Amino acid sequence: MDETRTVNVGLIGLGTVGGGVAKLIARHHDEYLRAYGIDLRVRRACALEEERAAELGFTGDAFTRDWRDIVEDPSIDIVVELIGGEHPATEIFEAALGQGKHMVSANKALLGRHVERLAALAAENGVQLKCEAAAAGGIPIVNALEHALVGNDILCIAGILNGTTNYMLSRMDAEGLDYDEVLADAQRLGYAEADPSADVDGFDAASKVAILSSIAFHTRVTTDDVYMQGIRKVSAADIEQARDMGYRIKLLGIARWTAAGIDARVHPTMIPEDHMLANVSGAMNAVFVVGDAVGETMFYGAGAGSFPTASAVVGDILELARPIAEGSAPAAESEPYESRVPVRSIADLETRYYIRLSIADQVGALAPVVAAFAHAGVSISAINQLHDGETTGVADGACSVVFLTHTAAERDVEELCRALEALDEVASVASVIRIEDVEAWSAGAEKND
């Protein structure tokens, strides 16, 4: 370590995360040099606003508005893409990898759709592509899957992968508020965007499920393969009912390795209140991972925010910088995932269901409803009429009734819901929430001696 060379980073994007990365590297420069022998500098940053760049210390030659200046700069070793979205991020990846630059990115939307193609491009060009921050923000889960847990067959990943929706569900639970009230408040406080769709409809979590399952299962799963249902239909009444039954409702991203293919889905999920994931509240994230050898593990932390995400980005940068500082090169990205494990259709899911119906409040209304369950082959384990005041948005002359099922097939429940909607006695199928069999997540793990 007597002779080290400066490792130059090119930073594209100086928003929340990019700004955090710039500050973190500047503040820790001397320490990275002393502790790891890495003289790490942001050589050049690309942003739209010159003023923002200047605030962060990027002026003159160190600032550019054109990302091409970064990817074509021969002095830059590592290109860090933090602008998000599909374009021009795709063009940046292609150009930077083509120029033989190692890349670090937090772009979950792009990587959720194209991680395999971009990893293959990195491999072709003899460079590495790292994306810890795209999988669960500051939580070091990609590193764990690729290194410390690499001796395991990963059996299941189940995570609270979106902070906005976990914040909303936590407040609905703690304060008995309904979805609309909490959303408005979350938007006011900056926890939710003006257009909350990517969060509340599950797209953000589905992108992360795609990235995590591609890495964990050594196969290709894209965001479009992941079944997605958001939290818009979850009501305060559902949350209270869940609590009475000993459950919490969380928006989970689940990826399981099963004999019939990969089960990959995002939806509101009832889990037992004593499960580790049930106690993750507020905007925090957590990823529960089951490996055949290690058994049950969980990784908890901030899934977003400027410095937590920067922590993951800088961790990736330093991994690449170590060999560069010593005058060698990081290993090229491995040729990706030859295997093509099919992703199961959600219709093949078998689980228990919580179904809340708005039913005509009249004698005899229940009979045709119960008959519809029987006809669809969905077995009922409990029926519970909710008391007045427990639900909002119920039509006049209707009441809310909760049905719990035994294990049923999703395709049968879908058919059931269509049949229920067609009944005169049913005003609406207000919510359908899957009750997860969390014990099944560990099926296939080794028994300890």
Contact status: 334 vs a copy of itself (CB under 8 A): yes
**The one segment of 132-140, 206-214, 234-242, 358-366 that binds a copy of itself by CB under 8 A:** 132-140
Burial of 31 (0-12, 13-18, 19+ CB in 10 A): exposed
Parallel, antiparallel, or unpaired: how do β-strands 295-302 and 408-409 relate?
unpaired
Q: How far is CA 197 from the centre of its chain?
A: 14
The single residue among 54, 95, 276, 380 that binds a copy of itself, judged by CB under 8 A, is 276
Beta carbon nearer to a copy of itself, 185 or 319 = 319
Task: Report residue 185 as tokens.
Answer: 């408040």
282 binds a copy of itself (CB under 8 A): no
Bridging pattern class, strands 154-160 and 247-258 = antiparallel
> Does the protein bind a copy of itself through residue 36 (CB under 8 A)?
yes
Interface with a copy of itself (CB under 8 A), residue from 4, 232, 299, 404: 299
Phi, psi (degrees; rounded to nearest 5) at 276:
-55, -35
Which of 296, 361, 414, 415 touches a copy of itself (CB under 8 A)? 296
Structure tokens at 346: 């959600």
Residue closer to a copy of itself (CB basis): 234 or 314: 314
Q: Catalytic site residue 208?
A: yes
For the segment 197-226, give every residue that binds a copy of itself (CB under 8 A): 218
Work out whether 72 is an interface residue with a copy of itself (CB under 8 A).
Answer: no
Q: Which of 101, 108, 130, 208 is catalytic?
A: 208
By the rule CB under 8 A, 144 interacts with a copy of itself: yes
Would you list the DSSP string of 407-429? SEEHHHHHHHHHHHHH-TTEEEE
DSSP β-ladder status, 78-81 and 102-105? parallel
Contact 268, 231 (CB under 8 A): yes
Compute the C-alpha angle 85/90/95, nearest 5°: 140
Q: Is 28 or 233 the residue whose CB approaches a copy of itself more closely?
A: 28
Local structure of 107: helix, strand or coil: coil
138 lies in the site for a copy of itself, by CB under 8 A? yes
Q: Which helix (H) or strand (E) holds 320?
A: helix 306-325
| Residues in contact with 171: Cβ distance below 8 Å, sequence separation at least 6, in sequence order | 177, 182, 185, 186
Among the listed residues 4, 6, 16, 187, the single contact to a copy of itself using CB under 8 A? 16
Pairing type for strands 350-360 and 63-64 reads unpaired
Determine if 147 is a binding residue for a copy of itself (CB under 8 A): yes
Work out whether 370 is an interface residue with a copy of itself (CB under 8 A). Answer: no
Among 84, 88, 295, 368, contact with a copy of itself (rule: CB under 8 A) = 295
Query: Catalytic residue numbers?
Result: 208
Residues forming contacts to a copy of itself in the complex (CB under 8 A) are 1, 16, 19-20, 23-24, 28, 31-32, 35-36, 132, 138-140, 142-144, 147-153, 218, 274, 276, 279-280, 284, 291-302, 305-308, 310-312, 314-315, 317-319, 322, 326, 331, 334-335, 445-449
